[in-house]
Each structure stands twice: as structure tokens, then as C-alpha cells.
Amino acid sequence: MIELIGLTKQYRSRGKMITAVDEVNLHIAKGDIYGIVGYSGAGKSSLLRCMNLLEKPTRGEVVVNGVELTKLSKEELRLSRQKIGMIFQHFNLITSKTVAENVAFNLKAAGKKKEDIPGRVKELLDLVGLLDKADYYPAQLSGGQKQRVGIARAIANDPHVLLCDEATSALDPKTTESILELLKEINKKLNLTIVLITHEMEVVKEICNRVAVMESGRIVEEGGVYQIFSDPKESLTRDFIDKVMQFSLPDRLMKSSSGTIVKILFREAKAEEAVVSDVLQSCQVKGNILHGKIEYIQDAPLGFFVMELTGEREEVDKAVALLDEKTAGVEVMKP
Ligand SMILES: Nc1ncnc2c1ncn2[C@@H]1O[C@H](COP(=O)(O)OP(=O)(O)OP(=O)(O)O)[C@@H](O)[C@H]1O
Ligand SMILES: [Mg+2]
């Protein structure tokens, strides 16, 4: 659905050249919810804004739904852009217009017949759960409601793609969750491809199927979300994932424990729990769970639990070797 080839964006600022996007190649398939993560200044917004030519690339190609955008005339680009919706961190609503008027504005701009507009506005507001707020002004809405208007407006002209630049960063966790749910629903219902930028891996974990990690204008790692979470290659990727998967054991526990402390990894659909108890029983080793964390990523479990193993030294070693063989892996935290 979206193909970026050798995409480069440079800005000239106070006589200096800044390369915000550096030779990026990226393929986003139809129906993907594609996440782009990176720290501030990595070039995420620049990359996203090149996808609808809000920023004109310095070099490279931007192909959306089979159309090379950089080759289009002004008028052709205007039409192509109607099929690329966008939502923003600060919503960018027209404050002097009501909710219904904000949505109608995009329909009018796209040349929709006047008599068809009210019906379509109603349909859209229903979809985002704001039918009862049609006559409210943006100032009378909560942040989450404003973003719902943003979404209704962005999808008004049945776009192929929805670009989201930190669309939930200004919202509290609960509201974020409800907006992510709405995006997921729209993705399914309308088979809409969604690209979303975020600095929170939590958001990626929640709704994306693929993710790219960006640093200094480049994509340093890219892949399926489960694969990236379970086996990150780059230290930057690991930093992001740690924010979701991190845990710490109190020092006191590590010091006072007389047994062997191991971390047993969970992956995909492996029935680790049964395996663990079988192994411990067969080796006559006792296991005491100290900590555990399981995240569900696209409905597949990913996580670990930390156990203290006690018993004869040889038996404990045998149990660790067996566990390592039969589970997704064991890390000895304290021998
Ligand atoms: N219009 C501009 N003129 C000059 N430099 C710019 C412009 N827009 C962005 N930059 C620079 O390009 C680099 C990438 O910026 P960009 O906004 O794409 O990063 P980002 O990853 O979206 O960051 P954030 O998470 O803070 O939004 C930064 O060094 C920024 O200062
Ligand atoms: Mg940005």
C-alpha cells in the first residue's frame, strides 16, 4: 500500500543542512497497522509527512496505492491526498466550527454533493461514537472526544491510508486505550491501512502488527511486532521494549535466597507451566515463584517467570538444563 524508496528529507536551517530522513526504504502492506517508534528528533514526523507530501522529499519515491506522489501535478496531488487521512497530536480542529461542521468541511473540500453531506456526517459521527455531540464546539469536548472528531474527519472521504502522528500522546492512558480501540475497529471494518508514530512501545504492543525503529533519520530495525518484542537485535529496540517488559527483583530477595534463581521464558503457545512442574517433579527439585510477567502481543503470550529452585546441587543443575531444553529458554540469575 505504501512504498518508500530511497526517501531522503533534508532541511536547511540557519545555513546548516539537517538530514531528517536518510535513505529510507519501507514497505507497508494493505491492512497493516504499522508503528514507527523513535526518540524525539529521530525523524518520525518528517517521514510520516513525506507519505502525503505535506513535506516534499529531497530525494526518493513515495508510492501510495500504486501512485508515485512526487510525480503528480498540483491538482493530481490534491485528489490523491483526499485518500490519505491524517490525525495529529493536538487534533487540529477548526475551533469556530461545530463537530458536524468540522467533519462536513472535508467532505465539501472533496466536492461531495451538498445533499449527501449531512447523512455522511451522521454516519461518521456514529462510527466514532459522537452522534450526540454533533452541535458541540471543540472547546466543549474532552481530548479523547476531540481526537474522535479528528478521526471522523480524516476518514470522511474513504481514504486508503490513515497517518497518525502521536495521536494519543496528549491523552491519559484510559483515553489512549479507547482511541486505540477505535483505530483497531476502523482498521478491521474499513480495511484501512494505518501508519502510526509513537514514542511509546505500549501503543505498538496494543495495536500494531509491524513496527520500525528509527534513529537519526534511518530505520535501524523493522519486523513483525511479536518477533521484534521477543527477539530485538538493536540496543535501541531493546531500550524501547524494556519499558514494557522490564522488571526488577528486590535486592533483598536475591541476597536472602539460598537456592538457584532462574528466569524461564515464555514464547507463543508453548505450555510452559506444565513443562516446568513436570521437570521439577522428575528432578525432585522444589520451585518457588518469585516474579512473573506475561504480556499478550497479538494474542500470543510473551514473558517470563522467575523461580527459586532448591534441592540437591546435581538435581538442580539437571533441572535447569532440562528446562532450558524444553522451554523457550532459561537464564540463570543466581547460580
Ligand atoms: N521544518 C523544519 N526545519 C528545519 N529542521 C527541521 C524541520 N522539521 C524538522 N526538523 C529537524 O529534523 C529532525 C527530525 O525532526 P522530526 O520532527 O521529524 O522528528 P520526530 O522524530 O518527529 O521528533 P518528535 O518525537 O520530537 O516529534 C530534527 O533534528 C528537527 O529539528
Ligand atoms: Mg514528531
- Average pLDDT value for residue range 136-151: 96
Q: Under 8 Å CB-to-CB from 331, ≥6 apart: which residues? A: 262, 263, 265
**Reported confidence tier of residue 165, pLDDT bands at 50, 70, 90:** very high
Residue 272 has pLDDT above 70, yes or no: no
Residue 26 has pLDDT above 70, yes or no: yes
Residue 248 has pLDDT above 80, yes or no: no
Atom 18 of ligand 1, nearest CA residue: 43
How many of the other CB atoms lie within 10 Å of CB of 137?
16
Every domain range in the chain assigned CATH 3.40.50.300? 2-243
Summary mean pLDDT of the chain: 92
Q: Under 8 Å CB-to-CB from 227, ≥6 apart: which residues? A: none
Is residue 68 within 8 Å of residue 76, measured between CB atoms? Answer: no
Point out the ligand 1 atom lying closest to the alpha carbon of residue 39: 25
Which CB contacts under 8 angstroms, 24+ apart, belong to 294-300?
294/266, 295/205, 295/229, 295/244, 295/245, 297/205, 297/225, 297/226, 297/229, 298/209, 298/225, 298/226, 300/226, 300/268, 300/269
CA dihedral (182, 218, 19, 53) positive or negative: negative
Share of the chain above pLDDT 90, in %: 76
Cα–Cα dist 207/196, whole Å: 10
Report which residue type is found at 182: L
Share of the chain above pLDDT 70, in %: 99
Residue 271 has pLDDT above 60, yes or no: no
Cα–Cα dist 236/217, whole Å: 14
Comparing 62-66, 98-102, 269-273, the range with the smallest average pLDDT is: 269-273
Give pTM, 2 decimals.
0.88
Cα–Cα dist 38/237, whole Å: 9
Atom 11 of ligand 1, nearest CA residue: 20
- Average pLDDT value for residue range 20-28: 97
- Average pLDDT value for residue range 130-159: 96
Cα–Cα dist 146/86, whole Å: 14
Q: What is the pLDDT of residue 247?
A: 75
Residue 170 has pLDDT above 80, yes or no: yes
Residue 298 has pLDDT above 90, yes or no: no
Q: What is the pLDDT of residue 270?
A: 59
Q: What is the pLDDT of residue 293?
A: 85
Cell numbers given for 149: 472528531
Task: Look at the domain 251-334 and name its fold.
Answer: Alpha-Beta Plaits (3.30.70)
160 C-alpha to center of ligand 1: Å? 26
Angle at 125 between CA 65 and CA 190, to 5 degrees: 30
Q: What is the pLDDT of residue 250?
A: 79
Point out the ligand 1 atom lying closest to the alpha carbon of residue 45: 22
Find out whether the beta carbon of 249 lies less than 6 Å from any atom of ligand 1. no
- Average pLDDT value for residue range 231-242: 91
Cα–Cα dist 70/87, whole Å: 22
Q: For the segment 103-143, what is each residue's pLDDT rounded down to a tens digit?
A: 999 999 999 999 999 999 999 999 999 999 999 999 999 99
Is residue 33 within 8 Å of residue 187, measured between CB atoms? Answer: yes
Task: Look at the domain 2-243 and name its fold.
Answer: Rossmann fold (3.40.50)
CB-proximal residues (5 Å) to ion ligand 2: 45
Every domain range in the chain assigned CATH 3.30.70.260? 251-334
Residue 184 has pLDDT above 60, yes or no: yes
- Please give the DSSP secondary-structure letter assigned to residue 133: G
Give Dmax over CA atoms of the chain in angstroms: 82
Q: For the segment 41-63, what is each residue's pLDDT rounded down to a tens digit?
A: 999 999 999 999 999 999 999 99
Angle at 224 between CA 221 and CA 230, to 5 degrees: 80
Ligand with an atom nearest the CA of residue 199: 1
Find out whether the beta carbon of 46 lies less than 6 Å from any atom of ligand 1. yes
Is residue 119 within 8 Å of residue 68, measured between CB atoms? Answer: no
Find out whether the beta carbon of 217 lies less than 6 Å from any atom of ligand 1. no
Atom 13 of ligand 1, nearest CA residue: 20
